Amino acid sequence: MIAELGLAALWLAAALAALQLVAAWLGQRAGGETLARVVRPAAVMQALLCGLAFLMLLWTFARTDLSVALVVENSGSDAPMIYKIAAAWGNHEGSMLLWITIMALAGGLIALIEHRLPEKTMLATLGAQAFVGLGFYAFIVFASNPFTRVAMPPADGNGLNPALQDIGLAMHPPTLYCGYVGLSIAFSFAVGALLTRQVTPDFARVMRPWILGAWIFLTLGITAGSYWSYYELGWGGWWFWDPVENASLMPWLAATALLHSASVLASRDALRTWTIMLGVIAFSMSMIGTFLVRSGILTSVHAFAVDPTRGTFILVLLAINIGGALALFAARAGTIAEGERFSPLSREGALVINNVTLCAVLGIVLVGTLYPLLTEAFGLRVSVGPPYFNPVSMVFVTPMLMVLAIGPLLRWRRDSFARVRAPVLLAAAAALIALLGLWLLAGMALLPLLGLTLAAGVAVSAFMPLRGRSLKRLPLSVWGMAISHFGIAVALFGMSVDTAFTVEKLTAAGVGETVAVGPWQVRLTSVEPVAGPNWTSLAGRLSASYRGGPAHELAPQSRTFWARPQTTAESALLTRWNGQLYTVIGEETQDGRWQLRLWWKPFVTFIWLGGMLIGLGGLLALIGRVASDLRRRAAARKIAARQADVAEVPR
Amino acid sequence: MSAAFKPKHQRLALVGIALIAILVAGVLAAWALRNQASYFYIPSEIVAHPPAADRAVRLGGMVKVGSLKTAPDGVTMHFEVDDGKAQVPVTFKGLAPDLFKEGSGVVAEGHMVGGTFVADNLLAKHDENYVPRELQDMSKQQARQTVADTK
């Protein structure tokens, strides 16, 4: 009954999306005012029904309803409750339902609260949102129905994928999807603005909180995903340039560019067509990312739920949405009047460089990700990894970060170099000192050296825009910018130091033996069996001491799950302020010793700390923007009320 | 420097900058892909046309039954990868993936040193949903025969 209710709600939501599209289309015309009034309620109802469908799916998973095929395939009665629920979106069908649910909720929310834009633009926006949504509804109900029943319910399900039984990973897809789908709102606004030719600063202001929100989710999602693969995969690496990682990085790069160009449009009414273009590209990257992950065209460590037969469906959806939006852009871009002009040496000029370099990096990542697919069509199998991505993207990241250090100090419209000479020289001096200092510490590779130099320059310049301003009266968005930029320096510092100074030790040790890795002395005390709720494991007991200091206990495990017989290495980490000791235990050798893999990774935690700072900066900016919007609205309402009073008095 | 662009020219200049950046990125990417993409080989190909020693490549095939030996240090492995026609000796120092065993498929990432393939990383069938890309085809076309030949 629950599954049928969910399916019915899903169909009704799809029907409402169709209604929303048709009403928005016809409502644009003269005499369509009655229909136009239907659009907003339809969007809200669609959100509620889609939310209901998703809740029903969660419910079937929570009670392990084994008459539903998806539950049988992806869950089991022995798993802890939190993972049973997370299993609902840890598979293809459930994750697509999550996608459309978030999209419907976002659409319902703008229908409910957004009243700043001309009504025609709003109609076009909600119409575009319904159009994109309909494609995904069709995909779900026709090609990946999550509520399909099985004829004969089995005694128990297949169990959860062991790799997914981790709280970080359970929360990973919803976070990323919020980011992906938040960009759909920016996309719909861009299409709406193109259709009605209303590209104004107001449009950018309306769009900005959505971009910011999506960007925060993407930032945190990527950061968490990186940390997850770092400790879960047991390889000690934090970024593999895996296609699925790239699929989340590409929308982030586009969203970062869009965020900056939208702020130019909002503050200065410049870069109009450029912002529209980025709005289209950003969500296109989300859809391409989904296509890469969900179609099964790439098989990688992340691709848990793949089904090649569905690839064609998503590819067609992709072609219609992206191709349609780009065609519309090509047709309309010429008719959008040029915005305000600016001198090359100005805040706008710096942000143009930011945008161009971000797009170049995006192009490099996209080409590197798709290249193996292209060559495979010609019968040649290749893979593209760090030797391509690292140096080539650094060619553009370097000028981008140099401009990042200077740009926030510049004034809008035009500026002179003489005015910003002092802070620029200071940042350059910091970078130079870092460069020289590291050069004297010979033997450092080019990329980490460059990374540390840039990190020093960016860190010093990040807080300079705050100089000479009253810190109390400073808008939250300026604080946000400074913190985000500082976060980039912190993350870059962590990446460079980890790349340059990590110490690795791979050995087989007997019980009681001591192994040295960097400043650590690690002793294998014992190896014991441990039992969990749905697994058993062999746990090594390690006792580690830093430079002869007190001993710390670590217990890396080699864990075997029952429901799906599979072994995973559970790494154990020891965190200090200046780095992490990373330990993995392998198999027993023939002579009774144990394989141990140990790393000392100085300042590796700064990578994710930096990621969190970047996200925190975004959050502060978002709070600042929304709060000032609310204040402005309250003020407008007060003025309107006063005017109404004045109008009533003479009567 | 501080003079604003002439009307009309600003949009043109912006489009120009964007195009130049895209061009540079494209040329760089094409050049780097030529030099840095790592090609996939099966043993008979790598024996017939060995790649340059500094070139990172991938080697895929079956781990020959009876060829797997662990060195006295406990973490270095030697084995042979087989495609039914040729065998290539492989050296790997590290923790083998969970499903790595004799008679099953493997993809090794590394490079050729002399006649030996030095692997930096091994990819094995991880679970029913994750099979290295190269092995998916292999299991259809060659794997059964390969296993039959090597048994």
Q: What's the rounded mean pLDDT across residues A641-651?
A: 74
pLDDT for residue B134 is more than 70: no
Tell me which of B5, B23, B36, B91 to substitute to probe the interface with A (most A C-beta atoms closer than 10 Å). B36
pLDDT given for residue A309 in this prediction: 65
pLDDT given for residue A650 in this prediction: 57
pLDDT given for residue A140 in this prediction: 93
Band of pLDDT at residue A565, cut at 50, 70 and 90: low
- Whether the full predicted model's pTM is greater than 0.80, yes or no, is yes
Taking CB atoms and an 8 Å cutoff, what residues of chain A touch B96? 586-587
Taking CB atoms and an 8 Å cutoff, what residues of chain A touch B98? 566-569
A541 lies within 8 A of chain B by CB: no
Q: How many whole angstroms separate alpha carbon A641 and alpha carbon A635?
A: 10
Asked if B29 lies within 8 A of A234 by C-beta distance, the reply is no
A412 lies within 8 A of chain B by CB: no
Asked if A360 lies within 8 A of B3 by C-beta distance, the reply is no
Taking CB atoms and an 8 Å cutoff, what residues of chain B touch A537? none
Band of pLDDT at residue B3, cut at 50, 70 and 90: very low
pLDDT for residue B4 is more than 60: no
Q: How many whole angstroms separate alpha carbon A71 and alpha carbon A77?
A: 10
> Apex CA A108: angle with CA A282 and CA A17, to 5°?
85
pLDDT in tens, B73-85: 889 999 999 888 8
Q: How many whole angstroms separate alpha carbon A473 and alpha carbon A469?
A: 8
Taking CB atoms and an 8 Å cutoff, what residues of chain A touch B37? 371-372, 375, 382-384, 388
CB contacts < 8 A (A, B): 141
Query: Higher-confidence residue: A432 or A14?
Result: A14
CA distance B82 to chain A (A): 18
pLDDT in tens, A291-336: 777 766 665 434 434 455 677 788 888 899 999 999 999 998 888 8
pLDDT given for residue B129 in this prediction: 44
Tell me which of A383, A400, A517 to substitute to probe the interface with B (most B C-beta atoms closer than 10 Å). A383
Any idea which residue has 């709600």 for tokens? Answer: A9
Handedness of CA A404, A408, A414, A418 (dihedral sign): negative
pLDDT in tens, A468-486: 787 788 889 999 999 999 9
Any idea which residue has 């192009």 for tokens? Answer: A363
pLDDT given for residue B126 in this prediction: 47
Across chain A, mean pLDDT equals 88
Band of pLDDT at residue B140, cut at 50, 70 and 90: very low
A589 lies within 8 A of chain B by CB: yes
Within A441-552, residue ranges assigned H as helices are: 446-462, 476-501
Taking CB atoms and an 8 Å cutoff, what residues of chain A touch B33? 367-368, 371, 384, 388
pLDDT in tens, A205-218: 999 999 999 999 99
Those residues whose C-beta lies under 8 Å from the C-beta of residue A25, and which sit 6 or more positions away, are A127
Q: What's the rounded mean pLDDT across residues B27-31?
A: 92
pLDDT given for residue A165 in this prediction: 75
pLDDT given for residue A254 in this prediction: 97
Helices A167-196, A243-268: axis angle to 10 degrees equals 40
pLDDT given for residue A416 in this prediction: 82
Q: What phi, psi does A191 have (nearest 5°)?
A: -65, -40
pLDDT in tens, A379-397: 777 889 888 999 999 999 9
Asked if A595 lies within 8 A of B74 by C-beta distance, the reply is yes
Least trusted range by pLDDT, from A98-102, A276-280, A566-570, B32-36: A566-570
pLDDT given for residue A497 in this prediction: 93
Looking at chain A, the whole-number percentage of residues with pLDDT higher than 90 is: 53
Tell me which of A388, A537, A566, A582 to substitute to probe the interface with B (most B C-beta atoms closer than 10 Å). A388
pLDDT for residue B151 is more than 80: no
Of B38, B75, B133, the CB nearest to A508: B75
Of B2, B28, B136, the CB nearest to A299: B136
Q: What is the predicted ipTM? A: 0.81
Eight-state DSSP code of residue A68: B
Of B3, B5, B38, the CB nearest to A382: B38
Asked if A363 lies within 8 A of B26 by C-beta distance, the reply is yes
pLDDT given for residue A564 in this prediction: 66
Those residues whose C-beta lies under 8 Å from the C-beta of residue B115, and which sit 6 or more positions away, are B88, B89
B15, A334 contact by CB (below 8 A): no
pLDDT given for residue A252 in this prediction: 97
The domain locations on chain B are 1-37, 40-150
Q: CATH fold of B40-150, please?
A: OB fold (Dihydrolipoamide Acetyltransferase, E2P) (2.40.50)
CA distance A44 to chain B (A): 38
Of A274, A363, A382, the CB nearest to B25: A363
Band of pLDDT at residue A636, cut at 50, 70 and 90: confident
A186 lies within 8 A of chain B by CB: no
B60, B82 contact by CB (below 8 A): no
Tell me which of B57, B95, B138 to substitute to probe the interface with A (most A C-beta atoms closer than 10 Å). B95
Of A300, A343, A591, the CB nearest to B2: A343
pLDDT for residue A558 is more than 90: no
Residue A164 half-sphere exposure, CB side, CA atoms within 13 Å? 28
